């Protein structure tokens, strides 16, 4: 049925975060409302997730509803109950939710890595496509994101450097500035650096090809590298890497973003990332302000700053708080006593992808 009155999924869904320990993780997610296990180094909080367990090393990679009429149910079970009430005109992926949303806390550098683009996935059905975007939440002074390759890097020079420290100077660097948005199309070599926290919005896949893992720098236990797979996946074309760089002002963001099927606005309000897979908007309300939301579109709300309230939802959401607004829900979002800023994520209808 169409999303609307009579749907069984017509109230906001508050999901339990999935906390994922990582060798590079830390404790700063506590500042974003996460109840971390004592002593654990948590690198990721999966806010909205619905992955096939065979596609990831994360145990039970499916979000469950924390409260309300659907408490205890998985996202997949909610979709099975009332697909249109939850998703509206957004496509599901074989009965699964179409986005994966995380918060990341990098106490140490993450591995230098790449996610396979569509042409690689077409030849290797066992892997999953992964395009992602970062919104910087916090950054230590001097921290620099590593996104794409520097001008002049060739396939040959890259092939000789992968797996070694010689790869690092070949990566394009950009200052990590809280509030800025960076789009990483599949095929973009990248690494999240120490001292940075981001919100990561991505297509729901977890295939990662590592090419360098900072083993000597941090004394890590060596993990498998995927050099041959990565070299087939890394996009060296200037237009592609300009698309990844567009978020920090290299060239024209609109033209560069379109080269990789997306547009990026670095710090704007309104729509800041527009891709065939998802859209990210930055919303803001002054103290006591309201935003009316109509039925028909599923939205994910992730609070960046301040406190947000929603009709038919009993809890106030502070920084790091996330809810799914089903397509069948309608009502108002409200700022509490102070102004509030949040991300609003949507998925284009199938015909627009």
Distance between CA 298 and CA 324 in Å, rounded? 7
Distant-in-sequence, close-in-space partners of 297: CB < 8 Å, separation ≥ 6:
88, 89, 90, 327, 346
Give all strands of the β-sheet with 171-175 in edge-to-edge order: 171-175, 144-149, 190-191, 112-114, 209-212
Q: ∠ CA 254-269-332 to the nearest 5 degrees?
A: 135
- Angstrom CA distances, 186 to 23, 183, 252, 260, stand at 24, 10, 20, 9
- Angstrom CA distances, 337 to 12, 69, 303, 307, 334, stand at 21, 28, 15, 8, 10
H helices of the chain, in order, are: 75-81, 83-87, 118-123, 155-161, 215-218, 227-233, 238-245, 253-259
Q: Which of 98, 277, 90 is nearest to 186 (CA)?
A: 277
- 210 classed as catalytic: yes
In this structure, are strands 340-346 and 279-285 parallel, antiparallel, or unpaired?
antiparallel
Give buried/exposed letters for 220-241 (b at 16+ CB in 10 A, else e).
Answer: eeeeebbeebbbbbbbbeeebb
Q: Which of 210, 263, 295, 299 is catalytic?
A: 210
Hey, what are 211's tokens?
A: 């090419």
Residues labelled catalytic: 210
């Amino acid at each position: 049925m169409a999303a609307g009155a009579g749907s069984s999924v017509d109230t906001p869904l508050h999901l339990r975060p999935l906390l994922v320990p990582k060798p590079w993780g830390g404790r700063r997610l506590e500042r974003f409302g996460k109840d971390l296990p004592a002593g654990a180094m948590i690198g990721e909080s999966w806010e909205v997730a619905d992955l096939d367990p065979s596609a990831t090393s994360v145990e039970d990679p499916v979000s469950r509803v924390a409260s309300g009429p659907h408490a205890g149910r998985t996202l997949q079970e909610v979709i099975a109950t009332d697909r249109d009430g939850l998703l509206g005109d957004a496509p599901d992926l074989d009965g699964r939710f179409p986005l994966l949303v995380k918060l990341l806390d990098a106490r140490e550098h993450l591995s230098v890595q790449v996610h396979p683009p569509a042409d690689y996935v077409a030849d290797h059905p066992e892997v999953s496509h992964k395009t992602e975007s970062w919104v910087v939440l916090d950054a230590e002074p001097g921290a620099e994101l590593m996104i794409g390759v520097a001008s002049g890097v060739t396939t040959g020079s890259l092939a000789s450097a992968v797996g070694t420290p010689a790869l690092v100077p070949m990566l394009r660097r950009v200052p990590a500035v809280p509030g800025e948005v960076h789009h990483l199309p599949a095929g973009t070599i990248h690494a999240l650096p120490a001292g940075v926290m981001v919100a990561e919005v991505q297509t729901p896949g977890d295939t990662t090809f590592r090419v360098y893992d900072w083993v000597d720098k941090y004394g890590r236990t060596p993990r498998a590298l995927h050099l041959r797979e990565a070299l087939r996946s890394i996009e060296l074309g200037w237009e592609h890497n300009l698309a990844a760089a567009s978020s920090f002002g290299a060239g024209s963001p609109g033209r560069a973003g379109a080269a990789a099927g997306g547009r990026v606005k670095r710090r704007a309000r309104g729509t800041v990332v527009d891709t065939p897979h998802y859209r990210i908007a930055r919303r803001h309300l002054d103290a006591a302000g309201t935003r009316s939301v109509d039925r028909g579109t599923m939205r994910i709300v992730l609070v960046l700053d301040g406190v947000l309230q929603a009709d038919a939802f009993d809890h106030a959401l502070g920084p790091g708080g996330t809810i799914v607004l089903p397509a069948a829900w309608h009502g108002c979002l409200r700022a509490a006593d102070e102004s509030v800023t949040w991300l609003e994520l949507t998925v284009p209808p199938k015909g627009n992808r």
